[in-house]
């Protein structure tokens, strides 16, 4: 992290040092200067290569508030799956349109800023800032977007 910060600072310092001075306005030229004399050519400057600086380390994304007990949410997943999740405090029930359902438990209460995680031996859901992460058995984890929620 310190190396990245040093590189970013160095890039800004080099960019500031390589700037050509702004041309003086015409009315600021000395009156003794002849208008027929050619001006000296401007000196070329070498600028640092254009690179996008890495984003500064920011605070982690804000996690969603815990779902109230007895609430539910419907999700559409990136892999095409649809699930409905019923939240009951330290437990959650997940239902699929084909009739399959599972009960999940929360191993510990989520601390502020941490995602809510519910799991059993085969299914795991994680309610995070970017949506619901679902792992169903041996399938790869997929991101699900909330489509409907109870108040």
Q: Which of the pair, 4 or 68, is modelled with greater confidence?
A: 68
Residue that is written with structure tokens 């605070």 in the block: 59
28: its two tokens: 């600021």
The winner for highest mean pLDDT among 4-18, 36-50, 53-67, 104-118 is 104-118
Domain boundaries, the chain: 71-149
Rounded to an integer, what distance in angstroms lies between the CA atom of residue 98 and that of residue 100?
6
Mean pLDDT of 105-115: 73
Q: What angle do CA 109, 110, 114 make, to 5 degrees?
A: 170
Question: CB within 8 A of 33, min separation 6: which ones?
Answer: none
Rounded to an integer, what distance in angstroms lies between the CA atom of residue 6 and that of residue 10?
6
Q: Is the pTM of this model over 0.85?
A: no
Residue 113 pLDDT grade (very low, low, confident, very high; cuts 50, 70, 90)? low
């Amino acid at each position: 992290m310190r190396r990245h910060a040093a590189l970013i600072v160095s890039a800004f310092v080099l960019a500031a040092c390589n700037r050509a001075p702004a041309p003086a306005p015409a009315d600021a030229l000395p009156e003794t200067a002849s208008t027929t004399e050619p001006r000296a050519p401007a000196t070329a400057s070498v600028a640092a290569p254009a690179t996008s600086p890495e984003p500064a380390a920011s605070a982690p994304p804000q996690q969603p508030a815990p779902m109230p007990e007895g609430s539910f949410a419907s999700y559409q997943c990136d892999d095409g799956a649809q699930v409905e999740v019923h939240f009951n405090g330290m437990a959650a029930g997940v239902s699929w349109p084909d009739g399959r359902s599972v009960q999940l438990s929360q191993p510990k209460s989520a601390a502020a800023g941490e995602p809510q995680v519910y799991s059993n031996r085969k299914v795991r859901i994680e309610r995070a800032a970017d949506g619901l992460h679902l792992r169903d058995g041996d399938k790869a984890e997929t991101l699900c977007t909330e489509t409907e929620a109870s108040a």
